[in-house]
Structure 1
Amino acid sequence: MPARKRNIYLSGPMTGLPDYNYPAFHRVAAQLRASGHRVYNPAEFPHDGPPEEFPIRRAFASYCNFICLEADTIVLLPGWERSKGALAERQLALNCSLEVIEWRGAI
């Protein structure tokens, strides 16, 4: 039987990492999409300004909306347990009864 296609929220550490860890987010999102999954990648949140002007409240509202209303799975990138944002996203996912998967190269 073919694997089910998931609506995935991708979560992981960003703050304090080179390039905000975007390369890892983009790489994993591409792999998941190539497997047929729908992926919300927070590293793709639209913002053209400097990092210090990132609209964090608007971004988190969008992230939470997807987690609560559309996702069935959250995939956690390595280092998630040291990220306040990823910990909050994981807890929200648990509260919404999403499947929680730690990324190890595939799901």
Structure 2
Amino acid sequence: MKVFISGPMKGYPNFNKEAFDQAEKELVQQGYTVFNPAWMDFSGEWTKQDKRAIDAAIMSRCDAVYQLPGWDGLENSGSRMEYAFAQEAGMIFLEKDADSFFFVVNKED
């Protein structure tokens, strides 16, 4: 199963890369194929629209989304957009408990 990691970046030290990388490590250990947006370097001429288009293209190829804590904060329009995209596309949401990740098929607001 291909999983897109969604979460807050803006306003976090190092764009929250450590949290994204930790989630990636744990998901891969459980056998998931992961796309971690923290891999990308969005410096330079990449606009907000460019980033959203890239996210949507990649998410359209994934089966599930895992949201890092804080994804729904007011500053995180990107991760809120990813949530809306995932809902509209009928993607599976993964959540995490102390031991492992688990499925939430129909996530409501």
Structure 1 length as normaliser, TM-score? Answer: 0.80
CA contact (8 A) 1:72 1:98 kept: yes
CA contact (8 A) 2:4 2:35 kept: yes
Please state how far the C-alpha of 1:100 moved relative to its aligned partner. 1.8
Q: Higher strand proportion, which one? A: 2
Note if 1:81 corresponds to 2:72.
yes
Counterpart position of 2:57 = 65
For residues 54-80 of structure 1, what are the alpha-carbon distances to aligned partners after superposition, in whole Å with 9 as ceiling and x for unaligned?
624433322211212x11111000001
> How many residues are paired up?
97
CA contact (8 A) 2:52 2:78 kept: no
Q: In 2, distance between residues paired with 1:54 and 1:8?
A: 27
Unaligned runs of 5+ in 1: 1-5
Counterpart position of 1:3 = none
Unaligned runs of 5+ in 2: 102-109
For residues 3-50 of structure 1, what are the alpha-carbon distances to aligned partners after superposition, in whole Å with 9 as ceiling and x for unaligned?
xxx210000000001111000000110111121111110000145xxx
CA contact (8 A) 1:74 1:98 kept: yes
Q: Superposition RMSD on alpha carbons, in Å?
A: 1.7
The runs of at least 4 consecutive aligned structure 1 residues that moved more than 6 Å come to none
Identity rate, percent: 26
